[in-house]
Chains A and B, each alone.
Chain A
Amino acid sequence: GQSLEQPSEVTAVEGAIVQINCTYQTSGFYGLSWYQQHDGGAPTFLSYNALDGLEETGRFSSFLSRSDSYGYLLLQELQMKDSASYFCAVRRDDYKLSFGAGTTVTVRA
Chain B
Amino acid sequence: KAGVTQTPRYLIKTRGQQVTLSCSPISGHRSVSWYQQTPGQGLQFLFEYFSETQRNKGNFPGRFSGRQFSNSRSEMNVSTLELGDSALYLCASSHRDAEAFFGQGTRLTVV
Tell me if B104 counts as interface (CB < 8 A to partner A).
yes
B98 touches A33 (CB 8 A): yes
User: Is B103's CB under 8 angstroms from A42's CB?
Assistant: yes
Q: Mark B94-105, 1 if CB is under 8 A from A, else 0.
A: 100111111111
Chain A residues near B101 (CB-CB < 8 A): 45
Report the separation of the CA atoms of residues A95 and B94 in the bound assembly, to the nearest whole angstrom: 10
**Nearest A-chain residue to B56, judged by Cβ:** A96
Q: How large is the interface on B (under 10, 10 to 19, 20 to 34, 35 or more residues)?
A: 20 to 34
> Do A87 and B42 contact each other (CB < 8 Å), given the known contacts A42-B105, A95-B55?
yes
Contact B45 A97, beta carbon cutoff 8 Å: yes
State whether A42 touches B99 (Cβ < 8 A).
no
Q: How far is the CB of A17 from chain B (nearest CB, A)?
A: 24
**A28 to B: closest C-beta gap in Å:** 11
Q: A88 to chain B: closest CB distance in Å?
A: 10
- CB pair B45–A96 under 8 Å, yes or no, is yes
User: B33 at interface (Cβ–Cβ under 8 A)?
Assistant: yes
Q: A42-B90, A95-B55 are in contact. Are A101 and B41 (CB under 8 A)?
A: yes
Chain A residues whose C-beta falls within 8 Å of the C-beta of B31 in the assembled complex: 95
Which residues of B are found within 8 Å of A31, using beta-carbon distances?
A: 97-98
From B40, B45, B92, B105, give the contact of A101 (CB < 8 A): B40
Cβ of B104 and Cβ of A99 under 8 Å apart? Answer: no
